[in-house]
Amino acid sequence: MMKYLYCEILKTKHSFSRKLIIIAPVTTALLAFFMGGPDNFQGMCIYWWNAFILYGYIAIQCGLSIQKEQRAGKLYSVYSMPIDLLKFWFAKVLSIVLFILAANLVVAALVGITSFMGMVPSVISLARIFASLIVIVISSLWQIPLCLWLSSKAGTYASLLVNTIFGLVSAFLCNTAYWLAIPYTWSLKIIEPISGIKNSGEMGVFTDYNMLVVPLIIGLSIALFLALTILSAKWFAKQEAK
Query: Over its length of 242 residues, how does the chain's per-residue pLDDT go in tens digits?
Result: 777 788 888 888 888 999 999 999 999 999 988 887 877 888 889 999 998 899 999 999 999 988 877 766 556 556 566 677 888 899 999 999 999 999 999 999 998 887 766 677 777 788 888 899 999 999 999 999 999 999 988 888 899 999 999 888 888 888 888 889 999 999 999 988 888 887 777 776 655 667 888 999 999 999 999 999 999 999 988 876 55
d(CA 193, CA 131): 11
Closest alpha carbon to 129 in 9, 231, 219, 32 = 32
Q: Give the CA distances from residue 4 to residues 85, 89, 131, in Å, rounded to whole numbers and listed in that order.
A: 10, 9, 30
d(CA 80, CA 76): 6
pLDDT value at residue 142: 96
pLDDT value at residue 155: 85
Closest alpha carbon to 63 in 29, 26, 16, 107 = 16
Whether the predicted model's global pTM rises above the 0.85 cut: yes
Strand partners, 197: 203
pLDDT value at residue 72: 60
Could you give phi then psi for residue 52, rounded to 5 degrees? -135, -65
d(CA 139, CA 197): 16
Strand partners, 203: 197
